[in-house]
Amino acid sequence: MALVEPNPNPSFLEKLQSIPKPVIYGILLVVSTIPLFFSVKLPNKPIDASIDFYAQTMKLPDGCKVILCSDWTNSTRGESKGEMEALLKLLMRKHIKFVLLSIGDTQAPQVAKDTIREVSASEVASGGTPYKEFEDYVNLGYYAAAEGTILAINNKVLSIAKGKKDFPEGAGPKDALLSPVFQGIKSVSDFNMFFLVTASGTNRTILERITKCPLMYMVSGVMVPENTSYYASGQLKGLCGGVKGVYDLETIMEAGINNPGPDLIESDKYKGESIPGWKGKTNKGKGTAYYLALHFTLALLILAVVIGNVGMFAAKRRAK
Amino acid sequence: MNLLAQVDPKTFWNATNGSSELFIKLALALIFGIALATGLMFAPPQLRKWVVRVVTFVSGLFYVLFWLFPAPISRQPNDAPRGTVEALSFFISDSQSVVASLTNVIAGFLIGLGIYSLLRVHLGKIAKQQKDWFFSAVLVISMFLMIFFGYGDYIQRQDPKNFVLADMKNWGWINYGRDLLFDGLLQNMDAGMFSVVAFYIMSAAYRAFRARSIEATILLVTALVVMLSLMGVVELMWSGMIDKISPDNPIVQSFKLSAVSSWLRSNVQTPAIRGIDFGVGIGLMAMGLRLWLSLEKTGGDS
Amino acid sequence: MGQQYLDTGWFLMFLTLLMVGFILFNISRAHGGKDLYIRRISGLNAIDEAVGRATEMGRPVLMVPGLSDTTVNAKTMQAINIFGYVSRVAARFGNPILVCCYNASTFTVAQEIIRDVYQQEGLIDKYDVDSVRFISDRQFAFAAGVSGLILREKAAATFFMGEFYAESLILAETANSVGAIQVASSTELTQTPFFIAACDYVLIGDEFYAASAFLTRQPVLVGSLVGQDWCKLAIIGMIIAGTLTNTLQQRGEITQEHKEGKIVDLPKPRNVLAKDTIFSRLLKPDPEKDIKVAREHLPPDQVPSGGGSDK
């Protein structure tokens, strides 16, 4: 709503407060697209939440078992796919088995499976071992009743896998409970961590109901403020948010925490400990690919806001 | 008597999977359900209201008891309850996973209702050739195509011999059709629609982020600080500048972008969000209570 | 003591029941004829103005009760209740309405409520069955469908209330582009800033839940609202009490600590930590970890196949 009468002959500065939308959209399209063609290593100081996420994941015993709830779809792949890839790299390098399920969207299991296959292929290409469905991870698919399912996981975790089938490579469907992932599992507390990768409201559903297993979340950038209060209170052991969070993880995967070197990342919380990185492995991912574009788009956003305000003040001054 | 829990030995309320006894019981339950629904249609409104209230209360009561009634401590699978109270808590605990499955079943039937609504509106538009009937035709055709190819692909993959479909080389035309519609069209259109949000954020920020008042100016400045802190290059330059001014003074050091942004998040944003969360949570509890006890008169009665 | 009380302690359960008591007590107070005050909520005052404007322009009023899961939850019900009031105003003005539903259960409930409203107003012949419609249960297909409706029908007033996610800005900006007056509220805090940037009036946080009380002045709703305010005061009191006790207690050293329900001696004195304070132990007790309960065993043929919960 304009506070001043529209001027029939606005000056250049006054015109700045009413740039047509097609012009703004065109500039944004150019500014956000061109940096995607360049791969530039940018300086970055990871935030505490990302450092905690990496450290707690690295402290999981090799070969242990975790639950991975994947509730993102291709609509948020710009952020969520990068987060998922970074997490899967860590899990695969530590040979951690996981139970994959979704409570947020019917498309989510398929996009998660596709991402697992891609990351497994990339790990094989850099000298790792392939991750096999049914042997190293079991896919329980989508559950429509989110609240009831998460309650059931906390109460009686094996009940959610009853009757579910998964597909080992080169074989027909098999009962999911026969998977090596479920061997020795009697309760949700037998899982070492509950990871959630989401861009929807399933964060609260899980936080309210999972009490016997530690939680770590990977969320889209817009959900970071909401989840920061849970991280600050200690309900979440770590939090990774948005493209910045992904880039933080990729930076830490390269350098480690409190590891002496040119890219030293210090953390007071882990003083006295040195948590290694994964130098020599393929750590770059969507965070590195998109961080430069993020810089340019944020800069454009700031410029647009400043220009709009300059135009507004010019119009106000003219009206006086 | 275990009404809901799927137990062995078998009771009146369940039967072995795939047996004729199960199908007979399902058919009887269906007939009973239709009779009940028909009876309710002809029942006077006052009776219907009471039926709704009782069903709402009993349904809500299950989860209220689940949360409030003392749950069994350290229960082993073959434990027997030590009295009536523990018997009830065992029953509630055993039933929870079955009740969760009931919700899944109801959700499945509701999808059919949604399809009915869509078809009624859009087939009507096509038949009467109303304004924009072409879009309705596209919707109906897309819906049937997705059902056909999606269900066909699913049926094929359920066959234990068809694990070879994991390799694209073994796909048939149905599998390619599903891939084109789902991965090629739907997934990418989803991503495209979400990308549109970026443009709308830009135009909304340009239009709305104006320093019209003191509060708006404070909002604007804090938003700029937080956005700048997300940019690693700016953060590095700013920190370098702060370090040049005074590398050892903790007060000057606390003006680094990451420190300011972290302070804003921990001391301004998080408490505000927590405060709003308290209010929203209490409001939700009150709303749930009113719905459960049927205290609410719906329809915006004045 | 139940398993769930081991984690939360008795205090949180007592607090929950106390808050429930506050709400029910105030509902009965309001039923008793007591006049209870609610402050103005500007977004709701604008409803009549918005619908009137739509009537003058001869364009419909569009309402979206949010994107909930497969079932109708309390937030969706609240949104539909508010839309019942909006529909009543629109029916009196003879203005067409459009209610766009995200899932089939919301669609059935909304249809019933809107039809009831028209019936109560004596305008059942003006009720258009297709004014309440199910669009899609895919988030962005829903956003595309509603945006298309807004652009084609050129809605003059739009109401977005309930659970909204990333599609909130798509809907709000589309409505803004056709010059609609917008009243919005999202229960998702992440989306409230987007609505504030794009909409004319926004209900923040629990103003959404106060809306039906404000509009209808039903004793149940007003009493419930006052009860909620009592609950908030109780929480504020707890925060102040907690801050004071923690500040006073976290001085000096202790030689004993509470661990797993027992008081144990420390090997050497240490500073008082937050977890040692009264409030911390009230809200987060540290119960005994491995409680064993001796029970008799069921005969093998009576053991439920789905029975037993995890430890």
Q: What pLDDT sits at residue C305?
A: 57
Residue C122 to residue C92: CA distance in whole angstroms = 10
> Looking at beta carbons, which residues of chain C come within 8 Å of B273?
189
Close Cβ partners of A126 (under 8 Å, ≥ 6 residues apart): A281, A282
Checking if the pLDDT of A295 tops 60, the result is: yes
The answer to whether the Cβ–Cβ distance between A199 and C140 falls below 8 Å is no
Query: Is the ipTM reported for this complex over the cut 0.85?
Result: no
What is the arithmetic mean of pLDDT over B72-101? 81
- Residues B294 and B53: their CA atoms lie apart, in Å, by 6
Nearest C-alpha of chain B: how many angstroms from A160?
8
- Write down the pLDDT at residue C12: 84
Closest by CA to C68, choosing from C149, C137, C168, is C137
pLDDT recorded at residue B113: 80
Share of chain B above pLDDT 70, in %: 92
What ranges make up the beta strands (E) of C187-310? 201-202, 253-259, 262-271
In this model, does residue B22 exceed pLDDT 90?
no
Q: Which pLDDT value is given to residue C132? A: 92
Interchain CB distance below 8 Å, A28 and B233: no
User: Which residues in chain B have Cβ-Cβ distances shorter than 8 Å to C296?
Assistant: 79-80, 82
- High-pLDDT (> 90) share of chain A, %: 60
The pLDDT assigned to B162 comes to 66
Which pLDDT does position B10 carry in this prediction?
Answer: 58
Q: Is the pLDDT of residue B125 over 50?
A: yes
Of B279 and B302, the structure prediction assigns the larger pLDDT to B279
Using the predicted structure, report yes or no on whether residue A201 has a pLDDT greater than 60: yes
C139 contact residues in A (CB cutoff 8 A): 75, 105
Report, as an integer, the average pLDDT of C52-58.
90
List CB contacts (< 8 A) between C228 and chain B.
279, 282-283, 286
Tell me what pLDDT residue A2 has: 42
Question: Minimal Cα distance from B112: which residue of C?
Answer: C104
| A85 band by pLDDT with thresholds 50, 70 and 90 | very high
pLDDT winner (highest mean) among A104-108, B236-240, C284-288? B236-240
Mean predicted lDDT score pLDDT of chain B: 84
Share of chain C above pLDDT 70, in %: 94
Q: What is the arithmetic mean of pLDDT over C90-105?
A: 91
Give the pLDDT confidence of C156-201 residue by residue, as tens digits: 999 999 989 888 999 999 999 999 999 999 888 888 889 998 999 9
pLDDT > 70 fraction of chain A, expressed in percent and rounded: 97
Distance from the Cα of B35 to chain C's closest Cα (Å) equals 21
- B274: pLDDT strictly greater than 70: yes
Does pLDDT of C308 surpass 60?
no
Q: Which of A225-229, B110-114, B186-190 has the lowest mean pLDDT?
A: B110-114
- C296: closest CA of chain A, how far (Å): 21
Q: How many helices (H) and strands (E) does chain C have?
A: 10, 8
pLDDT at B1 over 70: no
SS3 state of residue A180: helix
| Band of residue A296 on the pLDDT scale cut at 50, 70, 90 | very high
Closest CB to A155 among C69, C70, C309:
C309
Closest residue, chain B, to C139 (C-alpha): B190
Give the confidence band of B300 by pLDDT, cuts at 50, 70, 90.
very low
Higher pLDDT, A170 or C91: C91
CA distance A82 to chain B (A): 15
Q: What percent of chain C has pLDDT over 90?
A: 38
The whole-number average pLDDT for the span B24-40 is 90
**Mutation to test the C interface, candidates A153, A198, A200, most C Cβ within 10 Å:** A200
Residues 6 or more apart whose CB falls under 8 angstroms from that of A216 comprise A53, A56, A57, A193, A194, A195, A196, A236, A237, A238, A239, A240
At B216-228, the pLDDT tens digits run 899 899 999 999 9
Measured between beta carbons, the chain A residues lying within 8 angstroms of B155 are none
DSSP-H helix ranges across B75-132: 84-128
Q: What is the pLDDT of residue A33?
A: 93
Measured between its terminal Cα atoms, the distance across chain B in Å is: 46
Mutation for testing the B interface, residue in A230, A249, A301, A310 having most B CBs under 10 Å: A301
C204 touches chain B (CB under 8 A): yes
Convert the pLDDT of each residue in A18-42 to its tens digit: 788 899 999 999 999 999 998 788 8
**Range with the poorest average pLDDT among A83-87, A203-207, C159-163, C185-189:** C185-189
**Distance between CA A265 and CA A54 in Å, rounded?**
12
- C-alpha distance from residue C169 to each of B199, C54, C152 (Å): 10, 22, 18
What predicted TM-score, i.e. pTM, was given to this entire model?
0.83
pLDDT one-digit tens code per residue, C216-245 = 888 888 899 999 999 999 999 999 999 999
- Asked if A155's CB is within 8 angstroms of C166's CB, the reply is no
**Position A7 confidence tier, pLDDT thresholds 50, 70, 90:** low
Q: Strand pairing partners for C61?
A: C97, C157
CB contact under 8 A, A173 and B158: yes
Closest CA–CA distance from residue A301 to any residue of chain B (Å): 6
Chains that touch C (3 or more CB pairs under 8 A): A, B
pLDDT of residue C310: 53
pLDDT at C29: 87
pLDDT tens-digit series, residues A279-290: 888 899 999 999
DSSP classification of residue A264? -
Q: How far is B34 from chain C (nearest CA, A)?
A: 18
Mutate to test the interface with B, among C3, C202, C233 (most CBs of B within 10 A): C3
Percent of chain B with pLDDT over 90: 23
**Res B149 pLDDT > 60:** yes
Chain A partners within 8 Å of C165 (Cβ): 199-201
pLDDT above 80 (res A248) = yes
Mean pLDDT, range A305-313, rounded to an integer: 89
Q: pLDDT tens, C129-153?
A: 889 988 888 888 899 999 999 999 9
- Report how far Cα B56 is from the mean position of its chain's Cα atoms: 21
Q: Average pLDDT in the C54-75 region? A: 86
Q: What pLDDT sits at residue C99?
A: 96
Q: Provide mean pLDDT across the span A124-153.
A: 90
| The pLDDT of residue C101 is above 80 | yes
In single-letter form, the type of residue at position A190 comes to D
Tokens for A207?
């936080």
C184 forms bridges with which residues in the sheet?
Answer: C160, C202
The predicted pLDDT at position B296 comes to 75
